[in-house]
């Protein structure tokens, strides 16, 4: 993502990485030293401090080397493992970060900062369901933690646990009710959970503080898009108003593209997504939606290209794997189709469509027993949903790249 910060990152809310101070580290006692020695080896505490200083200054290689020395000398240093996890997070090496952080957690299970970082690593990987338990545990220990509460609310929102999102986010009203992003998330969560009073309250406050800014009109457009096709005209009006104020507003053209894609205007959708790619070349959702568009109009080669571009930027995009599976199924390329379907099911195990497409691939490969098992899974998932939920999920859901991008 470009250096410009996403417009929907919460104003005044920083996803700061929590570093354990050296005093929290369980450091080994330095070895005894000869009085006549002209130069003594640095103690574990000194090495730790050097690592902290390097990390603070952004010298990740030096910091990593220091903290690795610490854990070699003191394998019980939870602080060193935590900071190694932080370094891996700075490098976006999420799996390595989680390995370090879980080691730290075993050594210091009562330290909420470690669990907060574990949740944050899952959050930044797009694993919102996995981020919920660590954030919940932090909030139990620290009920006043704004960071843990806000992140937990966002995770609940992203996994469509709207009532839980409202429960977690509503207490932040005194601190956050002047923040457009907070009001947008809270209002939509209230809308989908039947809290009409809170939905109206959030909308009224959003209008009150939003004024006539491009950011405000974009948020209003997204709210209309989330409320369904019956508010599509209002959504377009808001998007056009935002464009008239700031045509280079980040994610404006993404949302215009999504509007036109939903409306079936493929030519305009393509143009808008490409405009947003030019402004925000590292946002994977733009490429994924271009893949969806080209797949719909039968341009398989272009669709495959854009799905792969999306996955380069975010390997966790199950929709892109699903799109590849559909393309390869149509082309009769069953082994790569199955590989993509397997990846899609792994990323979204509750996706009825992913299981169904996987069943069709298996049928073409004459693996009928496995295909029947997949069909049964898809049917159970369909039967488990209420009619209202099924209708909502079958509709193209509005992505929220503005909320899920890594803060700059």
CA 272 to each of CA 194, 253, 268, 276: distance values in angstroms, whole numbers, following the listed order: 33, 5, 6, 6
Q: What is the pLDDT of residue 407?
A: 43
d(CA 120, CA 98): 10
Domains and CATH numbers, the chain: 269-408 (1.25.40.10)
More confident: 20 or 138: 138
> What confidence tier does 223 reach under pLDDT thresholds 50, 70, 90?
confident
More confident: 332 or 40: 332
| pLDDT-above-90 percentage for the chain | 76
The 10s digit of each residue's pLDDT in 298-330 is 999 999 999 999 999 999 899 999 999 999 999
Q: What is the pLDDT of residue 233?
A: 92
Comparing CA positions, the residue from 405, 392, 401 lying closest to residue 162 is: 392
First vs last C-alpha separation in the chain: 8
- Assess whether pLDDT exceeds 50 at residue 32: no
d(CA 290, CA 109): 45
d(CA 281, CA 268): 19
Write down the residue that tokens 């008239």 correspond to: 244
Q: Is 16 exposed, middle or buried (0-12, 13-18, 19+ CB in 10 A)?
A: exposed
Q: What is the pLDDT of residue 34?
A: 39
Ramachandran region of residue 110, left (φ > 0), alpha (ψ -120 to 50) or beta?
Answer: alpha
Mean pLDDT of 336-351: 94
Comparing CA positions, the residue from 291, 350, 293, 297 lying closest to residue 325 is: 291
> What confidence tier does 36 reach under pLDDT thresholds 50, 70, 90?
very low
> What confidence tier does 293 reach under pLDDT thresholds 50, 70, 90?
very high
Residue 259 Cα to chain centre, angstroms: 22
Q: What is the pLDDT of residue 9?
A: 36
- Assess whether pLDDT exceeds 50 at residue 372: yes
Q: What is the pLDDT of residue 389?
A: 55
Lowest mean pLDDT among 12-21, 92-101, 278-287, 351-360: 12-21
* Total-model pTM: 0.73
Provide CB contacts within 8 A for 242, sequence distance 6+.
Answer: 214, 215, 217, 218, 221, 249, 252
């Amino acid at each position: 993502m470009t250096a410009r910060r996403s417009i929907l990152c919460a104003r005044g809310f920083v996803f700061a990485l929590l570093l354990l101070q050296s005093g929290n580290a369980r450091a080994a006692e330095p070895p005894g030293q000869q009085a006549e020695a002209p130069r003594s080896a640095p103690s574990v505490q000194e090495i730790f401090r050097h690592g902290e200083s390097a990390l603070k200054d952004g010298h990740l290689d030096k910091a990593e080397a220091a903290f690795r020395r610490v854990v070699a000398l003191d394998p019980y240093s939870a602080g060193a493992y935590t900071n190694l996890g932080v370094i891996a997070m700075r490098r976006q090496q999420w799996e390595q970060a989680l390995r370090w952080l879980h080691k730290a957690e075993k050594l210091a299970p009562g330290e909420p900062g470690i669990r907060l970082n574990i949740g944050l690593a899952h959050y930044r990987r797009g694993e919102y369901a996995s981020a919920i338990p660590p954030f919940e545990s932090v909030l139990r220990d620290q009920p006043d933690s704004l960071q843990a509460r806000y992140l937990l609310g966002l995770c609940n929102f992203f996994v469509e646990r709207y009532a839980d999102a409202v429960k977690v986010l509503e207490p932040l009203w005194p601190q956050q009710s002047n923040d457009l992003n907070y009001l947008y998330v809270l209002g939509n969560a209230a809308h989908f959970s039947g809290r009409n009073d809170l939905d109206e309250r959030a909308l009224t406050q959003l209008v009150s503080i939003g004024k006539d800014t491009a950011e405000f009109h974009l948020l209003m457009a997204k709210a209309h898009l989330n409320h369904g096709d019956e508010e599509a005209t209002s959504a377009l009006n808001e998007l056009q108003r935002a464009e008239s104020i700031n045509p280079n507003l980040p994610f404006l053209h993404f949302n215009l593209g999504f509007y036109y894609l939903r409306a079936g205007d493929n030519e305009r959708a393509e143009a808008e997504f490409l405009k947003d790619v030019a402004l925000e070349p590292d946002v994977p959702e733009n490429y994924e939606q271009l893949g969806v568009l080209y797949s719909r109009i039968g341009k398989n080669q272009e669709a495959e290209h854009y799905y792969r571009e999306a996955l380069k930027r975010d390997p966790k995009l199950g929709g892109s794997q699903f799109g590849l599976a559909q393309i390869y199924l149509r082309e009769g390329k069953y082994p790569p189709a199955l590989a993509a379907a397997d990846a899609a099911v792994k990323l979204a195990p509750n996706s009825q469509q992913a299981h169904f497409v996987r069943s069709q691939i298996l049928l073409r490969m004459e693996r009928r027993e496995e295909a029947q098992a997949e069909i049964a899974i898809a049917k159970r998932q369909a039967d488990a949903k209420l009619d209202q939920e099924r209708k909502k999920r079958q509709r193209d859901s509005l992505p929220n790249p503005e909320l899920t991008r890594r803060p700059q």
